[in-house]
Amino acid sequence: MARGEDPFLLAKWNNMKPDITLVFPSSPFLIDQKVFPPLGIMYLSAYLKQNGFSVQCLDMAMHKPEMAESDIIGISFTTPQRGEAYKLAKYYKNQNRFLIAGGPHATHMHPECLSNGFDIFIGREGEERVLDFLRVSIRKEIKAVNCPEIDDYPFPDRGALPIKDYKYEIGGRAATVLMTSRGCPYACSFCAKITKGFRMQSAERTVNEILDINEKYGFEAFMIFDDVFIIDKKRLSTMADLLKDKNFLFRCFGRANLIDDEVCELLKKMGVVEVGLGIESGSNIILEKNLKGTTRDMNLKAIQKLHDHGIRAKAFLIIGLPGETISTVAETSSWINEAQPDDIDITVFQPLPGSAVFANPEKWGIEFNYDGRPQWYKGRPGRYNCNVRTKELSATQIITYRNLMESTYKNKELLR
């Protein structure tokens, strides 16, 4: 890439500070932090650069805090990352930097962010709000910005970070991540949304982004990170037609209530080799109580449909949801035996700010502590820290059952 092609590199060449540094905190609780690049700050970077601002992006999984060059620092973080984010805020505040909190945690817990060193917060989708702030603080002019259609957003600024240093494979090929929608139309009790409504990119825009990634970076495999990627059959059909001869590989997420033969045929045509399903529990009691909108039988049939079409199925499960008992844990175990997914991912339940359960735990029949201790739902085996208690299960029991289920079923011959 020539220096003149990137505003940040040009600014460095001219010995100028970038207008803003966007930071993604580290996630030391994960087995490997260098799997997926942080799309959130990459979307922001692309949009700000499109509007004439220079941007530096740092991922603390591979960078150091002292590398930040701007006087304005934006830190985008999730609830599990909040401890690391507040350490960064303290570090930068001691240098008299102006700090912006963004991302899911700032959206729902901004008073906490402001009390931990941040000057302002920008919640929900941040592109227009950050742009407005920079126009006022740097360009000294105020101009209304109309929110564009989702197809109008530029592709994430994948050149802002060393994208080839992230290691993820699908079918033996180096892969990277993309998102094709914002929001979710479902209302699961444990979900913490930051976007109002639900918007999907067009099939054509999404395919153009895939082709752009392939042309610029050489990737031939892609992880589509939307929870509801398969929700629109017409869009999926168009994508399958446009990509059928490209020999790309894909992995995506889906919901059991959206899986049928037609969807499986389209996924197969497109090059999808694995679908991850948010099964959550093998108990109808838990699924109904937590407003999942699926049933045990529906989840069984979804796994079978995928297998019938030669597509791997990965089941994502949660132990400790509202209503969890010894009996419902046993139902989840028996569901795994019956469904025979190709892989499983088992987490402990952690109520997230912005979710229905977090807002009213008494209504959902659970207790939890929200304090300074780590609160992550996915992390290193053997190091889980559960802070939830249901009416029947203690936090220790939830961790014990989670670990037992993983040791029993993860990477075993039982799973195909």
Least-confidence region, from 232-241, 257-266, 339-348, 350-359: 350-359
Residue 257 has pLDDT above 60, yes or no: yes
The whole-number average pLDDT for the span 289-299 is 96
Residue 398 has pLDDT above 90, yes or no: yes
Do 126 and 185 share a structural domain?
A: no
Question: What span, in angstroms and rounded, lies between the C-alpha atoms of 183 and 199?
Answer: 7
Which residue shows structure tokens 């989702």?
A: 150
End-to-end CA distance of the chain: 44
Question: What span, in angstroms and rounded, lies between the C-alpha atoms of 118 and 116?
Answer: 6
146 occurs within a structural domain: no
251 contacts 276 by C-beta, under 8 angstroms: yes
pLDDT tens digits, 133-160:
778 777 645 454 555 688 888 999 999 9
Amino acid at site 109: M
Q: Bridge partners of 101?
A: 75, 121
Do 371 and 294 share a structural domain?
A: yes
Predicted TM-score (pTM) above 0.85: yes
The residue with greater pLDDT, 200 or 114, is 200
pLDDT tens digits, 87-118:
999 999 999 999 998 888 878 878 887 878 88
Mean pLDDT rounded to a whole number for the chain? 87
158 occurs within a structural domain: no
Torsions phi, psi for 14 (to 5 deg): -90, 10
Nearest to 368 by CA among 345, 347, 385: 385
CATH code, domain carrying 110: 3.40.50.280
Torsions phi, psi for 11 (to 5 deg): -65, -40
DSSP 162-203: TGGGS--EETTEEEEEE--EEE-S---TT----SSSEEE--H
Give SS3 for 116: coil
378 occurs within a structural domain: yes
415 occurs within a structural domain: no
Do 174 and 120 share a structural domain?
A: no
391 occurs within a structural domain: yes
Do 234 and 129 share a structural domain?
A: no
The per-residue pLDDT for 414 is 41
The per-residue pLDDT for 2 is 37
Do 325 and 250 share a structural domain?
A: yes
Question: What span, in angstroms and rounded, lies between the C-alpha atoms of 222 and 170?
Answer: 8
Torsions phi, psi for 264 (to 5 deg): -65, -40
Radius of gyration of the chain (CA): 22
Report residue 378's pLDDT band, with 50, 70 and 90 as the boundaries: low
Do 211 and 120 share a structural domain?
A: no
Report residue 3's pLDDT band, with 50, 70 and 90 as the boundaries: very low
The whole-number average pLDDT for the span 327-354 is 93
The per-residue pLDDT for 6 is 46
Question: What span, in angstroms and rounded, lies between the C-alpha atoms of 89 and 109?
Answer: 15
249 contacts 224 by C-beta, under 8 angstroms: no
For a pLDDT cut of 90, what percent of the chain falls above it? 59
Question: What span, in angstroms and rounded, lies between the C-alpha atoms of 362 and 135?
Answer: 44
Alpha helices in 178-325 (DSSP H): 203-217, 233-243, 261-270, 284-289, 296-308
The per-residue pLDDT for 372 is 56
160 occurs within a structural domain: no
The whole-number average pLDDT for the span 394-401 is 92
Do 219 and 133 share a structural domain?
A: no
| Strands (DSSP E) found in 338-396 | 343-348, 366-368, 388-390
Do 324 and 175 share a structural domain?
A: yes
Do 129 and 52 share a structural domain?
A: yes
Question: What span, in angstroms and rounded, lies between the C-alpha atoms of 356 and 353?
Answer: 8
Alpha-carbon dihedral 64, 69, 72, 74, rounded to 10 degrees: -30
List all residues 6 or more positions away from 7 whose beta carbon is below 8 Å from its beta carbon. Answer: 18, 49, 52, 53, 54, 55
Least-confidence region, from 33-47, 132-146, 247-261, 305-319: 132-146
Report residue 193's pLDDT band, with 50, 70 and 90 as the boundaries: confident
86 occurs within a structural domain: yes
Do 175 and 117 share a structural domain?
A: no
261 occurs within a structural domain: yes
CATH code, domain carrying 200: 3.20.20.70
Do 276 and 185 share a structural domain?
A: yes
The total of structural domains in the chain comes to 2
The per-residue pLDDT for 106 is 78
Structural domain boundaries, residue 257: 168-409
Least-confidence region, from 36-45, 113-122, 320-329, 389-398: 113-122
Report residue 9's pLDDT band, with 50, 70 and 90 as the boundaries: very low
Question: What span, in angstroms and rounded, lies between the C-alpha atoms of 98 and 280?
Answer: 41
For a pLDDT cut of 70, what percent of the chain falls above it? 89
Do 240 and 191 share a structural domain?
A: yes
